[in-house]
Amino acid sequence: MFCRPCLQVLSLLSLSLPCAAKLVEEILDLPVSAKNLYGKTVSQSIKVTVFRDDEKDRAPFLVLSHGRPATTAEFAAMGRMRYAANASYFVGKGFAVLVPTRIGYGVSGGEDLEYAGNCAARSYPASFGAAAQQVVQVVEHARTLPYVDAAKGVVVGQSYGGATSIALAAEGLPGVVAAINFSGGGGGDPVGRPGSPCRPDLLEAVFSSYGQRARIPTLWLYSTNDKYFGEKYPKQWFDAFVRNGGQGEFVQLPPLLPPLGEDGHATFVRNPAAWRPAFEAFLRRVGL
């Protein structure tokens, strides 16, 4: 049996938020369960970092999903996922932000539930599904929090987390009104195969299947010099999603250049000025 979610208040930071509010950062230990490629179910607690305005009641929720390292050596080094600067920005836009560190990553540890098989025969539905199952449980918990508006929230993700957010758009989750995908996909190797992810055709197929079931608006944002997925594949994946019934907008972001970096896959973190206008316009269109 798992204990009920435990809460740790990590810090209270004064920011220039509306009404002289304060940004609170908290850590939850949340019990979750998910199934891997081979049908094995794993149950354990994961760390969820929460950022919120301590003077705002009934805020829309935003669940922010992280990516997947290109090498296994980087998994433990991820630590506790925070995206602190972007999370603070989202709080400033009125959200309560939850950032889960999923099973197998960083401080949550455990098995790699999102392993998708070898590069020649990737099982992306199972892999994204393992991530999505955990985020579903984070969303369900978010909707029980006293400072959250259970009827209004979005799922956002970067890289593997971006693909996970599109998978969640197909789930019809109560309270989730939109999904936002930053550089989403899988199987990328910016060093060994820059711009050529494992089996992009299978990625197109899985995004196509999500389009058949998704009924909420989605926003897709990709840089032209994304070294994980290249420039052409993301647009093909988006086209397959929309062609099969999904609602979406694709935004081609400019390349990420020095001194900010040389790989547009990092635009979410390193160049927020490039994506914030499209993000804010999308929020207005969906009533947030």
Residue-wise pLDDT for 122-148, tens only, equals 999 999 999 999 999 999 999 999 999
pLDDT of residue 15: 42
* Mean pLDDT (whole number) for 241-261: 98
SS3 content of the chain, % helix, strand, coil (to 5): 35, 30, 40
Hey, what are 199's tokens?
A: 């089996």
Q: Which of 208, 200, 272 is nearest to 230 (CA)?
A: 200
- Tell the residue number behind the tokens 């160049």, with chain if given: 271
Please state, in angstroms and rounded to a whole number, the distance separating the CA atoms of residues 99 and 84: 10
Give the model's confidence band at 234: pLDDT under 50 very low, under 70 low, under 90 confident, else very high: very high
DSSP tag of 153: E
- Tell the residue number behind the tokens 């988006």, with chain if given: 238
Please state, in angstroms and rounded to a whole number, the distance separating the CA atoms of residues 44 and 2: 8
Q: Is the pLDDT of residue 273 over 50?
A: yes
Greater confidence (22 vs 268) lies with 268
Instruction: Please state, rounded to an integer, the average pLDDT across all residues of the chain.
Output: 93
Give the model's confidence band at 167: pLDDT under 50 very low, under 70 low, under 90 confident, else very high: very high
Phi and psi dihedrals of 64, rounded to 5? Answer: -110, 115
pLDDT of residue 5: 64
Contact 64, 98 (CB under 8 A): yes
Q: Is the pLDDT of residue 1 over 70?
A: no
Tell how strand 96-101 and strand 247-253 pair up.
unpaired
Q: Is the pLDDT of residue 85 over 50?
A: yes
> 188 in helix, strand or coil?
coil
* Mean pLDDT (whole number) for 244-259: 98
Residue-wise pLDDT for 30-70, tens only, equals 999 999 999 999 999 999 999 999 988 899 999 999 999 98
The residues near 59 (Cβ < 8 Å, ≥ 6 apart) are: 52, 53, 94, 95, 96, 147, 148, 149
Q: Is the pLDDT of residue 7 over 80?
A: no
Pick the CATH number of 6-285 from 3.40.309.10, 3.30.365.10, 3.40.50.2300, 3.40.50.1820: 3.40.50.1820
Burial (0-12, 13-18, 19+ Cβ within 10 Å), 286: middle
Amino acid residing at 164: T
Hey, what are 120's tokens?
A: 């020649």
How is the chain split into domains, by residue range?
Answer: 6-285
